[in-house]
Amino acid sequence: MDQDGIMVSKAERLQQQYEVSKARADSAKAALAELRRIQNQKAKKEARKKRNHALFESAGLMILADLVDTESGALKTDCGALLGGLLAVAKSLESGPESTNFQQWKSTGDALLAEREALRKKTEPERDKETTSEAITSILSDNAMRD
């Protein structure tokens, strides 16, 4: 019997249970889809943040090399000349890290980064140990503030 005292057939009762269960399943499916959408959105945002961070580090290296004006962000040299130079560097790097050019460029770059890091340590209070990426980022930030 149902609430009004009317007898409900087993088939009708099962149909009602089915409809209630289906509504719950549809609701759970929609909630799951929303949760997945939010997770995908967060993953994309995190990937975008990592990409932007890497791009800012690259720009910071161009600032350290005195190729970019820190105030305006404008290149200090002709675009074509800079691109040509970068293409020559890229071509030279194809021979791998064992090449003479690579070793020379690496030692020069590492020396400048170490010099900037030492200068930063002299002017700032001791910090907790940082990762290499964090150290480069802070060096580049310090450089941008000083220039």
pLDDT digits (tens, 9 = 90+) for 27-68: 999 999 999 999 999 999 999 999 999 999 999 999 999 999
**pTM score:** 0.59
- pLDDT value for 108: 94
Mean pLDDT score across all residues of the chain: 88
> Is pLDDT above 60 for 1?
no
For 68, list phi and psi in degrees, rounded to 5: -130, 135
> Is pLDDT above 70 for 84?
yes
Cβ 70 vs Cβ 147: under 8 Å: yes
**CA–CA distance, 111 with 131 (Å, rounded to integer):** 18
For 75, list phi and psi in degrees, rounded to 5: -65, 145
Helix (H) and strand (E) counts for the chain?
4, 0
Helices 100-123 and 10-64, packing angle to 10 deg: 90
- pLDDT value for 131: 72
- pLDDT value for 136: 79
pLDDT confidence bin for 140, thresholds 50/70/90: confident
